[in-house]
Amino acid sequence: MSTGRNKIPFAGLAVAIVAISTGAILVELSDAPSAVAAFYRVLFTTLPLLPVAFWRYREEFRLIRRRDLGFATLSGVALALHFASWFESLEWTSVAASVTLVQSQPLFVALGAWLLLSEYINRRMVGGILVAVAGIGIMSMGDFLGGVLVGPRPLLGNGLALFGALMAAGYVLAGRSLRQRVSLVPYVVVVYSVCTACLFVLSLVQGGDLTGYPTHEWLIFLGLAAGPGLLGHTVINWVLAHLESSVVSVSMLGEPVGATILAFVFLAEAPTEFTVFGGVVVLVGIALTTIERERRRRETE
């Protein structure tokens, strides 16, 4: 019986990775502006959580301090910029490049924790970061060297994906201390509400229509919330209570692989050899950095 129970978190992690891998494909299939698609993804992810949050955690909301609300707001703004820039990057570069580069956020988390929180960073972590940077260079320049462009403006798309990774790191760093004092559901509701509001304003500023979409677009918006949102990141938050964070973090690197396969199957988008090779180098660098950072964290606990 215990063996079966031990397998459940791994099964949940596998489901979550597959669900997250569908995100880029759904964005590519949508004709809505990227900010609008991001807005509805976060909105439809947040709405089902509101009844639970206010029914079971009403008192905890009242106890959230003003300083904590400030960190939650900062985290929500960073998350909004992450979604907006990453969704936009898919308009300009390949799915394989965009998803791989946006997954580089552990590198920025390690650097940010070192610069802002005085966390120790050793040679192995630096080596992993340098390996990933080399892979990013291969991915960004390889298409031009090979004479084949995947996407109308690959460098712009790659840059937006990297900015999305930087903002994802900001979201993690801003919310890390807050999560030690606030339960998961109230934290997610506050952060997602701020994120939704930011994406709503951004959609209006960019002149994007929020209504009048055909049925298939609304199904894509719901799919983004149900798949990558609820079945993806929500399940991962549950899995983190049962598996080591290092296992979950490295498993997340399966998203670029899954998204690349899905892009080939559903969009007939085949990555170049430079994208594949550079992507592998990036993933190796991220894995090295993540594993070493988690090892250091366990040693200091």
Q: For 214, which DSSP code?
A: -
The CA-CA-CA angle for residues 162, 166, 167, to 5°, reads: 115
Measure the CA–CA gap between 150 and 92, rounded to whole angstroms.
Answer: 8
> Token pair for residue 127?
């080596």
Mean pLDDT for the stretch of residues 292-299:
76
Take residue 189 and report the two structure tokens written for it.
């509701």
For the beta carbon of residue 249, count every other beta carbon within 10 angstroms.
20
pLDDT digits (tens, 9 = 90+) for 254-266: 889 899 999 999 9
Greatest Cα pair distance, the chain, in angstroms, is 60
Residue of 188 and 80 predicted with greater confidence: 80
- Residue 146 clears pLDDT 60, i.e. is over it: no
% of the chain beyond a pLDDT of 70 = 91
Q: What is the token pair recorded at 131?
A: 């390996």
Output the pLDDT for position 2: 47
Q: Is the predicted pLDDT of residue 3 greater than 60, yes or no? A: no
Cα distances (Å, whole numbers) of residue 77 to 105, 174, 197, 282: 16, 10, 9, 27
Residues 239, 12: contact at Cβ < 8 Å? yes
